[in-house]
Chain A
């Protein structure tokens, strides 16, 4: 199960945070900082996309200046979530038309809606790009 999802920039600013477990406010701040430290310091070229994080694992991928991080259980399939990140980025990209960091900042409330069409309760809900995108378009046109 996914415990949380962060999108952070290289300076460690969190642009998206989605929690699927219950965490206290202080704990959340601490985890965000810790994930950034853990992930940003890793060698992108020679190291894997997986790193141990407390009793869980972080699966992450960097797109331009943004780190997309999923925190998952140690018995989850790492590659499946690594590709889920890619799918998420593809959907965001198509939805915003070449997504950039500022899109996530100004439309933060819509990003949650996108996520809710792909992942729910910490598990993957829908994996078809076209199904997700046409659904989002439909919802966008609602009053």
Chain B
């Protein structure tokens, strides 16, 4: 495209920014006119769109050309289509009105006869990846991935396309429906295909650990063929190393599964790891080869640590890592320290790491800040009661010299370690006071808040803390945070040392006053509260205290003035009841996770694939592992965050006066949601399954050790057909199988085996891993309250027959169709139904899982939409609120139902209101939504 080249060259010739801008504006005007010409041909359109792209990449605003981009997408020429899709991905926002046309084009191109057109479409989907694409195109993409006719290029791209959609819209892609069929592709002979599928499986393994269980054995087999059997083509050898990226992906994938149970699989895995370690013994000269080899080696060590099945191997890894952390290669030192932190997160005895403590401390002075960070992480992870004092004092020593960028993290880590491993009270107070003095400017308020909490909670600390506080205030220089801690502590416990030398009330007040004038407003606010508390503690210096308060009654700062006025009034009040009550000693803070931890964890939270370990030693990692293996993995991160809410207490406003009421409020929603959840994990799980099927038509209903029951439903209100799938998960066949369903009240709901299907179709026996299925026809005769029950009977050879009774997710809500009405109509109906007042159901539900980010609200929208409501856009002034309309159809009549969902992420609560023309409809759907919330 000559015109493009000339244009770029022109811009490069511009001497100043003004010249460039002039040239750009001229070109924009030119392109606008050209686009208006009806006769513009494809080549020119492509050229001008390219020019627009170039300008946009230079940072100029380009807000037209979208239509032309779509026209290029519709072209039959490859190069035009390519530029069209590129422009769409670079220029269009997610909400663009043209995206709909793009989705149409993608749908067409996905089925094009030319392989490269399909590839272009797949590229575009993975580059744009909008919600609509996830909803409309996922099944087409799955088909392409699985189709035997599709080329390797299509398969690779399809797998990564799915990955993008799975990560962005996990609800929309319904991965449980196809995940099982993808797993075997890990064994695909083409390394590129396996590479892409392995990335996809890694994401799915975290969401569907059960459904993807087989992935682990596929990965082991594939690794063995690469590493031990040398089965690969030369194309994939990178500087003498066979397919390093695939090896790494597979080694990583295995870290999302527990160690294999069979001894055979274990020994295969071990021999793979051993082979990798042995190969790395000779260090190659060439940089690329060395990097490739080391990248595999470090991942293998990570997997070895994760599996934790061979002590000899672990020791060997520790020795290797010890060598790496003294390497001359900075990259290797860096990775050595990082991997050693991982080792410290799981190893039982830290001795093998402690042997290198000196070297690691040295690394705090490495030339590279990246290495220094890893050294800090490692010291933090390897700390225990034995070496805590040494490590903490080293860190404090480095604090003064450390980079500003590192100081906050260092301070947080010192604070956590000191609290965790303190065996003497004096040590804790000394270290913390030194810490706030050294690093005060570089750390958040959490640290000093935490010190106050700890002192308040430990009586033994208080006298010593007072002594040190007074000393701190008397020192020539006193850091602001240290001042706050000291003032707070003396205000609470100053009386404990009032009889010691030089610690009389008057000394305390003078020390406080001497520093007060040179501190910030927030520190002075804390000090004023202390003065107020002194009035109560030491009546003998009341006049002096009042004088201090009096001076601040005219303060310009509103907070200071208010405090001074209120405390002064309290101090001069007649009667002696109010003062002691208001200024009573603060109660100890309730035990809760330290805000320091949550602050630290937040730094690590931002990874697409979940971390398999976190910096910070054994305890925290063991805990994490427990959580992860128990529940669906996504919950664990939320749980950590939820339990680690910031300290809401007095410290936020800086004084005890404002805080005490805030604490219980912040705690309440979390506590109540926890108490309502069933405690038995299997009950919780089947409730979750059931709740999911209240808004999705297909899914697993029951997942047991012997059987798995799945449901697929299709409704044509008032009728519907329910498919029930029974899978044998036992190791032996099942006999005498029966699958029946019964409605709670036959006059309201009719449920029969589907026409044309006889009971003989259930096989006599069901082999392991085989599946039987039965269909039921349902007819909703009238509004009904209770769901039908499903009875599944079977015997496993040699044992008594088992009958499982399950609730079948069929409720009146399932017979609802979405209805779109205008906003005005909605409000008219809403009001009309509200006035009648009889058919309303309202719940206020704890919803701590709905954070402010878009994902939670997206989920909520798909729940409401999945229940058969048409979502009415723009009806509610509050954009996060959801309103919807549906009509439930029964043979006895049709009943309209309106819903309004108001999430309040700040309070962790959501209000759900339903109004319907039938009270039972509103009640039933309301309790469905409640159940979905409770089992989320």
- Listed in ascending order, the chain A residues whose CB lies under 8 Å from chain B are 1, 14, 17, 22, 29, 42-43, 46-52, 54-56, 73-80, 82-84, 86-87, 105-106, 108-109, 112-113, 116, 120-131, 135, 138-139, 142-143
Q: Report the separation of the CA atoms of residues A1 and B607 in the bound assembly, to the nearest whole angstrom.
A: 8
Closest-CB distance, A42 to chain B (whole angstroms): 8
User: Can you spell out 24 A-B residue pairs with CB atoms less than 8 angstroms apart?
Assistant: A43-B367, A47-B370, A48-B330, A49-B331, A51-B370, A52-B370, A82-B331, A83-B292, A84-B245, A108-B54, A109-B82, A113-B86, A121-B129, A121-B160, A121-B163, A123-B196, A124-B249, A125-B160, A126-B192, A126-B195, A131-B235, A135-B153, A142-B79, A143-B78
Closest-CB distance, B20 to chain A (whole angstroms): 12
Q: Report the separation of the CA atoms of residues A79 and B86 in the bound assembly, to the nearest whole angstrom.
A: 30
The listed residue (B78, B196, B243) touching A125 by CB distance below 8 A is B196
Q: Tell me if B111 is interfacial: C-beta within 8 Å of chain A.
A: no
Q: Which residue of A lies closest to B83 (CB)?
A: A109
Q: Tell me if B291 is interfacial: C-beta within 8 Å of chain A.
A: yes
Give 10 closest A-B pairs by Cβ, nearest first: A79-B295, A121-B164, A1-B608, A55-B606, A73-B607, A47-B368, A142-B78, A128-B235, A123-B199, A120-B160
Interface residues of B in 216-267 (CB under 8 A from A): 235-236, 238, 243-246, 248-249, 252
B195 x A125 contact (CB < 8 A): yes
Closest-CB distance, B321 to chain A (whole angstroms): 15
Q: Report the separation of the CA atoms of residues A106 and B368 in the bound assembly, to the nearest whole angstrom.
A: 36
Q: A55-B606, A77-B299 are in contact. Are A143 and B291 (CB under 8 A)?
A: no
Closest-CB distance, A134 to chain B (whole angstroms): 10
Q: A43-B367, A123-B196, A127-B238 are in contact. Are A80 and B295 (CB under 8 A)?
A: yes
A77 x B163 contact (CB < 8 A): no
A120 x B299 contact (CB < 8 A): no
- Listed in ascending order, the chain B residues whose CB lies under 8 Å from chain A are 4-5, 8, 12, 50, 53-54, 57, 59, 77-79, 82-83, 86, 94, 116, 123, 126-127, 129, 153, 156-157, 160-161, 163-164, 167, 191-192, 195-196, 199, 235-236, 238, 243-246, 248-249, 252, 288, 291-292, 294-295, 298-299, 330-331, 333-335, 367-371, 373, 603-612
Interface of A is mostly: mixed
Q: Which residues of B contact A121 (CB under 8 A)?
A: 126, 129, 160-161, 163-164, 167
Q: Report the separation of the CA atoms of residues A74 and B164 in the bound assembly, to the nearest whole angstrom.
A: 19
B123 x A128 contact (CB < 8 A): no
Closest-CB distance, B267 to chain A (whole angstroms): 25
Q: Which residues of A contact B291 (CB under 8 A)?
A: 79, 82-83
B199 x A77 contact (CB < 8 A): no
Q: Report the separation of the CA atoms of residues A52 and B334 in the bound assembly, to the nearest whole angstrom.
A: 12
The listed residue (B12, B367, B373, B612) touching A75 by CB distance below 8 A is B612
B160 x A50 contact (CB < 8 A): no
**A48-B370, A79-B331, A128-B192 known, 6 other contacts, Cβ within 8 Å:** A52-B369, A75-B609, A79-B291, A124-B199, A128-B236, A129-B235
A17 x B57 contact (CB < 8 A): yes
Q: Which residues of A contact B12 (CB under 8 A)?
A: 105
B192 x A78 contact (CB < 8 A): no
Q: A124-B195, A128-B192 are in contact. Are A78 and B335 (CB under 8 A)?
A: yes
B243 x A127 contact (CB < 8 A): yes
A83 x B607 contact (CB < 8 A): no
B252 x A77 contact (CB < 8 A): yes
